Amino acid sequence: MIEKNRKVILLLILIIGFFLRFISAASLPINEDEYYDFKSAKNISFNSETFNLPLQDEVRDGSFMGFRYLIPLGWGVFGDSTLGARLPFVILGTLTILFLYFLVRNVLDVKTALIASLLLSISQFAIGTTRFADLEAIIPLFVIASLFLFYTAIERKNIVTLLLNGVVIGLGLWIRETLIVLIPAYIIFLFISREHRGLLKNKYLWVSFICAFVVVLPFILLVLKPDSLRAKYIADTVHIGISMGPFALYSGELFLLAIKPFTEFFNQIVSTVNSESLLVNYVLGVVILISVIKCLKDRRPFIRLLVVNFLFIFVFFSFFKSGDREWGLWNFESFYYCSVSFIPGVILAAVFLKKALRSRMGMILFFFVIISLSVRAWGVSTFPLYYFPLAKDFCIDKFLDYEEGVFRNNPNISNDIAKDVFEKIYNIAENGSEHKRKAALRLANLFAEEDKFTESKNYLQFILSQNPNDLEALELQEKLMNKRTQ
C-alpha cells in the first residue's frame, strides 16, 4: 500500500516541508548574519560594466562567497527583499528532503526512505537552518551526495564515483571547512570494516581525497596569506576545549528541562542561548541517539558507515569550541558546527522507527515522535522568534533588547534593521502582551528619531489603548508634541 502510493506520499511530504519553511522565512526578522551576508552579496555583479565575482567575503569573516551567490539570484527572481533572498535556500532545503529520499530508497528501501524524508521535512532544526539565507541550508546536500558516492564507490568498486566523491567534498569545503571531517570518518570506516579494509591500499582512494584539496586549493591559498581575514577569524573564534555543541544539538533541550527547577542555574545556562538558537531537537535528538546505539551491532555496510560518521563527528566536535573565549563549558551556541552528523542521524532514526513499527508499542512511539515534531515545527514556523518553549519569554526579551540582544555588538546596524525586527515581533505577538508593548514602544522611539511623527503616534496610540496610564508611552508622546511645536 505504502510502496504503491509512494509518489503521492513523497509529494505530500515535500509540500509540507516547503510550506513550513516558507511561512517561517516570511515571518522571521532579518538576523545579524544575514545583515552582513546581504552587504557582501551586494558586491556581486554580473553586469559587464561592474563585473565582480569575488571569492571571499571581505565584509566580515573572509569565508568563501559560494552560498552568497544565491542571494542576488533570489533577489533577481523573487524580488529585492529579505524573503526574496531566502527563497533559494527554502527551495534547496525542500530539495534536500527529495534527495534524502532517493539516497535511502536506493540503498535501503522505500519505507525507510519515506520515514527519513518525513523526519527531515518536519524537523525543527532542519526548518531553522533552511529558512535563512545561510550556508547551513546547503551543507546537508553535500553530505547526502558524498554518502551516496562513497558508498556506491566501495560497493561497486567504481573508481570514477570514488574520484567524484573527492570533488564533491572539495566543493563542499568551499561552503564550510567543517565538511573536511567526512574524510577521516570514511578512513575510520574502512579501517574497521573487514570487507572494505583493502580499499585503504587503493591509490585512487587517496587520489580522491587529494582531489578534494585540489578543488578547494584557491581558497586555501587565500586563507594562508599572512593578512588573511578568514585565518584571523578562525584563530579568534575556534578553540580547543570541551564543547556542549554536539550534546546540545541532540539532547540539549532535555538537559534544560532537567535543570529548569533550579532557577539560577537554568537562567545562567539559557543566558548563553540566542533567540535564534536551534536548541530544538530533544525528541528527534533522543531518537537519533537511541538509534545510533541500536545500530551499533548492525552489520550492513551502509548502516555501519552512518554510525561511524555520526560517532566520529559527535566526538570530534566535542573538543572544539566556537565563539568568544569567555563563553566556557556550558555554552550551547556553537552546535551547528557539528550539523554534518545530522543527515546520518536522521537516516538511522528512520531505520529504527521502521523496525519499531512492527510492534504495537513501536507504532505508538512512531506516532508520538511524528506528532511531537509536527507540533514543534508548526510552532517555530508560525512564531519563529524562539525555538524552545522552555525559555520562550527569556529569548523574546533578548530579541527585544536592542542594545543587549542579537545586535548588541553592532551599534552601527541601521534603524531599518531594528525596525524590521520589532515590526515582526509586533505583528506576531499577542495583543495585550508585554512583548507587543515593548516592540511598539521601540518602534515609536525609532520613528520618533527619524521625525516620522505619524508612524510613531500610531504605535503610541496602540500602547495607550491597552493602558492609558502607561508612563513610558505618555512620556514619549509628550516629547513628540514638544518636538513638533518647535
Single out the residue in 354, 382, 410 at which a domain terminates: 382
C-alpha cell, 195: 570487507
Report the distance separating Cα 401 and Cα 142, nearest Å: 37
Question: Rounded to an integer, what distance in angstroms lies between the CA atom of residue 149 and that of residue 439?
Answer: 50
Q: What is the pLDDT of residue 406?
A: 46
Based on the fold, state whether residues 288 and 404 are members of the same structural domain: no
Does one domain contain both 153 and 78? Answer: yes
CATH code assigned at 464: 1.25.40
The residue out of 382, 409, 424 marking a domain boundary is: 382
State the number of CA atoms in the 13 A half-sphere of 241 facing the CB.
16
In a domain, 391, yes or no: no
- Compute φ and ψ for 132, nearest 5 degrees: -100, 165
Question: Looking at the predicted structure, is the pLDDT value of residue 191 above 70?
Answer: yes
Cα 123 to Cα 268, 371, 407: the distances in Å are 27, 11, 27
Report the DSSP beta bridge partners of residue 64.
Answer: 56
The verdict on 50 and 161 lying in the same domain is yes
Asked if the model's pLDDT at residue 9 lies above 50, the reply is: yes
332 and 452 fall within a common domain: no
- Is residue 72 over pLDDT 60? yes
pLDDT per position as a tens digit, 78-111: 888 889 999 999 999 999 999 999 999 999 999 9
Same-domain check for residues 47 and 116: yes
Q: If you average pLDDT over every residue of the chain, what do you get?
A: 84
Structure confidence at residue 407 as a pLDDT band (50, 70, 90): low
Pairing, β 320-322 against β 238-240: antiparallel
Same domain, 419 and 309: no
**Domain span holding position 145:** 6-382
Task: Say yes or no: 306 and 402 in one domain.
Answer: no
Q: What is the pLDDT of residue 376?
A: 86
Instruction: Decide: 245 and 317 in contact? Cβ < 8 Å.
Output: yes
pLDDT of residue 469: 86
**Bridge partners for 52 per DSSP:** 45
Tell me how many helices (H) and strands (E) the chain has. 23, 2
pLDDT over 70 (residue 241): yes
Look at 78-87, 233-242, 262-271, 409-418 and tell me which has the smallest mean pLDDT.
409-418
0.85 exceeded by pTM:
yes
pLDDT value at 65 more than 50: yes
Greatest Cα pair distance in the chain: 86
Q: How far is it, in rounded angstroms, from Cα 145 to Cα 164?
A: 10
Please indicate, yes or no, if residue 150 is contained in any of the structural domains.
yes
Shared-domain flag, residues 354 and 439: no
Residue 292 lies inside a defined structural domain of this protein = yes
Tens digit of pLDDT for each residue in 355-403? 999 999 989 999 999 999 998 888 888 766 655 666 666 666 666 665 4
Q: What are the tens digits of pLDDT across the range 119-133?
A: 999 998 899 889 888
Flag whether 56 is in a domain. Answer: yes
pLDDT, one tens digit per residue, over 256-306 is 888 888 888 887 777 766 655 656 678 899 999 999 999 998 889 999 999
Nearest to 28 by CA among 420, 429, 480, 319: 420
Please check the confidence at residue 67 and state whether its pLDDT lies above 80. Answer: yes
Give the model's pLDDT for residue 481: 81
Handedness of CA 470, 473, 477, 478 (dihedral sign): positive
Q: Which residues contact 52 (CB under 8 A, 6 or more apart)?
A: 43, 44, 45
Counting every residue written for the chain, the total comes to 486
What pLDDT, in 10s, does the model give residues 142-182? Answer: 999 999 999 999 998 889 999 999 999 999 988 888 899 99
Confidence of residue 56 (pLDDT cuts 50, 70, 90): confident
pLDDT at 231 over 70: yes
In the chain, the amino acid numbered 91 is I
CA distances, 79 to each of 88, 357, 420 (Å): 12, 45, 17
Query: What's residue 21's pLDDT?
Result: 94
Examine residue 176 and state whether it is found in any structural domain, yes or no.
yes
What is the C-alpha separation between 70 and 266, in angstroms, rounded? 39
Which triple of cell numbers denotes residue 319? 573538543
Residue 387 lies in a domain: no
Q: Are residues 101 and 60 in the same domain?
A: yes
* Grid cell for residue 72: 542576488
> Per the domain annotation, does 389 fall within a domain?
no
Q: Is the pLDDT of residue 317 over 80?
A: yes
**Alpha carbons within 13 A on the beta-carbon side of 167:** 7
Query: Are 268 and 417 in a shared domain?
Result: no
In the structure grid, which three cell numbers stand for residue 404, read together? 543587549
Q: List 238's β-bridge partners, or say none.
A: 322
Radius of gyration of the chain from its Cα atoms, rounded to whole angstroms: 24
Domain boundary among 382, 411, 426: 382
Cell of 39: 552587504
Whether 154 and 179 share a structural domain: yes
Are 317 and 351 within one domain?
A: yes
The answer to whether 69 and 75 have CB atoms below 8 angstroms apart is: no
Structural domains counted in the chain: 2
Is residue 392 in some structural domain?
A: no
